[in-house]
Every structure is written in structure tokens, then in C-alpha cells.
Amino acid sequence: MIRDSRLSSVLHGLLHMIGAGEPVTSEQLARAMATNPVVVRRVMAGLREQGLVRSEKGHAGGWTLARDPTDITLAEIYRAVGEPTIVAMGHRSENPGCLVEQAVNDALGDTFREVEALFLKRLGAVTLDVLAKDFKRRLAKHKQSLEDQIHAIK
Amino acid sequence: MIRDSRLSSVLHGLLHMIGAGEPVTSEQLARAMATNPVVVRRVMAGLREQGLVRSEKGHAGGWTLARDPTDITLAEIYRAVGEPTIVAMGHRSENPGCLVEQAVNDALGDTFREVEALFLKRLGAVTLDVLAKDFKRRLAKHKQSLEDQIHAIK
DNA sequence: GTATCATGTAACTTCATACGTTACATGATC
DNA sequence: GATCATGTAACGTATGAAGTTACATGATAC
């Protein structure tokens, strides 16, 4: 099954925007995400409609975060990218007259709903800010590791 | 996103087999599931390899359950149909050098894994037998409802 | 023993949809 | 008005489940 990477993709872009401190162009985001500027605009358009980001045209234009990262949950971003399908499985038929199919759909449907609820709950518990801080930790660690290597050479 | 319906599909087939008490042909299963006999054989082949069902050729041939329904969990069936993708979302890249991508992948990856674990846990807690009993309850209720309608007419 | 019935399987088509790409319009800034 | 950026339509590409056709294999009935 092909997996939808819009959420992953847009989070990547948003973290880059937080790090930049100035408008980031679709071109720059596309390079960072190894994709196409049009794809970036397409997915960012959803975030703009929800008021999560702003876009400016012309010189020094590009994308900026419109709200405080401590206030944006991943759940909100998930909704803004169009609520992609969470569970990759489904029923054969949604309106079955067959009682066997009803029994199957009910049993699986309950599980699907539970799983989706857990997914949304977890996303709702994480803010963009948390991801940004995690990134900074990684960056600091990476820097330290490089410095250690330099010392080892001296 | 198109959803994989093999698990739903095969459960439907298995319940029909339990109800039948004699070998059920791919043709019959296909009719019940509104699909094609070849599709039925394809998905049932996985169950046969895991020893969950048997197939017989020739006259009075077809598919039969090979084990006690009280002993077969939905998790086992899920594995037998080839462990279809559970979460419909994924990362852009699995081996990122980019630290931003690592932070995103870790955060989302944890959630994905949690969700998958819950899914398997729920499937592991339900046996085929439970579904079959649920179906019988529905059948009895349906029958009662029809009888009530007959009485109302009299 | 052969006609029939059923599975086994390869090869192909179909379909949905995320993603990629091209092209051009619109608007902002220098 | 030249340039830079977004906005968007239109079309192409790739993937994988599902559907379909065709034929081989094996078991049973007669």
C-alpha cells in the first residue's frame, strides 16, 4: 500500500520555517523536502486556509508561521492537510444487507475507530514547539559530536 | 486513499464457511462477497499456507476451516492475508540525514507504532468464534423481527 | 477412462490517488 | 516594467489492490 506522506512532509516544512525566522520560499522548502515547489504550495495551501501559515508574494516573499508553535498541535495540522485516511484497511461494502457482512464490519469498524481515536489523541498531545525543541536537541548533540571528533584529531 | 479490504473480505468468507458445514467453493464465496472466484482463491491461499483452511479439488471440493474457530484470532488471519499496511501514512524518506526529518520521523513513527500495536492487540483479542456467535445473534434477531411482522399482519 | 468439477496460477487490465511536472496567470517589490 | 514569488489548472507517472481471462492440474462421478 502506498502511504500518504503529506503530514510528514508538511511538518518537515514547518520546522524549517521555524528555524528560518524569515519567509521561506516554496523553492527552498521543496529543496529541503526533496520534492517540487508546486507540491509544497499545494499542501501548504491547506494550512493557510486554516490560518496556520501565511504566504506573501513578490520579493522577500514566501511562507511564514502565523501562530505560536506552542499553540499548534499536530492534530490541527493533520486536519489542515485534509485529514488523510488513517487506517489503510476498510470494508468491502459500507451498506451491507448481508448479516455476515454486518457482523464483520461491526467488529472491524470498532477496532478501526479505536485506532483512529488513539492516533488523533496522540497528535493532539504534541505541539509543533515540542518537535522544534527536539530538533534543537539533535542539532546540539550533532554539533557536540563534531567538536569531539575535532578534539580527537588534535 | 483506496483501502485494502482483504481482511474484511476473508472474514466474510470464513463466516460463510463456518455456517455451511461442508466445503464451500470459491464460486459460492465469490457470490457472497460480490467478487471474483480468482480473488477468493488468491486471498484464501494465504490462509491455507498458515494451516487455517484446507482446499479440496474436484467434486464436492472447496474450502473448509482447518482449525477450531475458538482458537483462531483475527490477528492470525491478518498475518495470513499478508499483513496489509495498517497505517495509511508514512514518512517521506526512511533514512534521512536531515536532522529535521529525523525529529519528524521519530515523533510520527512513535505514534504509528503505538497505533499498530493497539490494532494488533484488538485483533488478537477476538476469535473467529466470537464473530460467528455475533452473526448468529443477528440472525436470530432478524428472524424474530420477521415473525413479529407476520403476527402484526394476522 | 473420460467428462466434469474444482482449485492453482500466470498474465493482463482496471481503477484510485498521491505525487511530479509544465505552463501560465496574478500580485508584490525593487 | 523587470523580477520574484505565489496560485492554480492540466496533465503525466507510479503504485498496488482488485478484477478478469486463460489454461493447467488434480479429484470424483459415471
The residue ranges of every structural domain in chain A are 6-153
Chain A residues near residue B13 by CB distance under 8 angstroms: none
Average pLDDT over residues A66-85: 97
Q: Which residues contact B145 (CB under 8 A, 6 or more apart)?
A: none
Is residue A15 very low, low, confident or very high in pLDDT (cuts 50, 70, 90)?
very high
> Is a pLDDT exceeding 70 seen at residue A139?
yes
- For the stretch B112-125, pLDDT in tens is 999 999 999 999 99
Whether residue B103 and residue A135 make contact (CB cut-off 8 A), yes or no, is: yes
State residue B2's pLDDT score. 83
Distances, alpha carbon B73 to alpha carbons B16, B36, B67, B116, B136, in Å: 17, 26, 11, 16, 18
- For the stretch B33-71, pLDDT in tens is 889 999 999 999 999 999 999 999 999 999 999 999 999
In the 9-28 segment of chain A, residues within 7 Å (Cβ) of strand D are 24-27
Is residue B96 very low, low, confident or very high in pLDDT (cuts 50, 70, 90)?
low
Among chain B residues, CA nearest to A127: B107
Whether residue A135 and residue B99 make contact (CB cut-off 8 A), yes or no, is: yes
Q: Which residues contact A75 (CB under 8 A, 6 or more apart)?
A: A120, A123, A124
* A&B contacts, CB < 8 Å: 168
Whether residue A99 and residue B135 make contact (CB cut-off 8 A), yes or no, is: yes
Residue with C-alpha cell 493533520? A78
**CATH pick for B6-153 out of 2.30.30.240, 3.40.718.10, 1.10.10.10, 3.40.1010.10:** 1.10.10.10
Is residue A73 very low, low, confident or very high in pLDDT (cuts 50, 70, 90)?
very high
Residue B92 per-residue DSSP state: S
Distance of CA A35 to the CA centre of its chain: 15
Give burial (CB, 10 Å; 0-12/13-18/19+) of B72.
buried
Strand partners, B73: B127
